Amino acid sequence: MENGLPALLIAAILMLSTVLMARGGFLGADAIGQSLRTSQTSYAQQNRTELAVTSASTDATGANVTITVRNDGQTPVADFSMMDVVVQYFGAGGARYDKWLPYTSGPLASDTWTTGTFTNDLFEPGILNTGESVQILIRVNPVVAPATTNLAVIGTEKGVTVQTYFPGPP
């Protein structure tokens, strides 16, 4: 009897620790499974997103660049504030500028970008659905130099990017 009570206590502790370890393993496996499902959903949306640049121009002042982007994919682009616009351009004297530009929903200020006119925006106004186009309006400072070839890269919140060259002002 004197060995029975300690043996029973040890067996209970051993069973409890086994249950707790198994529960931790199951919770960990569940968390990994949920993470994989989220990753697959994000990857699928990225694969169904396709953007194409239809035009790019710079106004006569060299401060304003307009790039028209069309959604050729199946996934709509809705949150423009989560998009990235990066420009690489040449200013006066051949100085090169590499800039990430923040989105603004208000008036266009120096070194910012916003959305302009949507074309074929029949379904869900303000969201870039399949077949629709949007103007990306960019304002840079210092201005783009004439007779230069410059680069813009536009990225969605899903990580899909499109790049285009835009000319300096005429």
Element (H or E) spanning 25, and its range? helix 4-47
d(CA 96, CA 107): 26
Q: Tell me what pLDDT residue 107 has.
A: 93
Structural tokens at position 24: 């931790």
DSSP character at residue 153: E
First to last CA, the chain: 101
When computed from its CA atoms, the radius of gyration of the chain, rounded to whole angstroms, is 27
pTM for this one? 0.73
pLDDT of residue 45: 57
The model's pLDDT over 98-135, given as tens digits with 9 standing for 90+, comes to 999 999 999 999 999 999 999 988 888 999 999 999 99
Name the stretches of the chain with pLDDT < 70.
1, 41-48
Identify the pLDDT of residue 47.
59
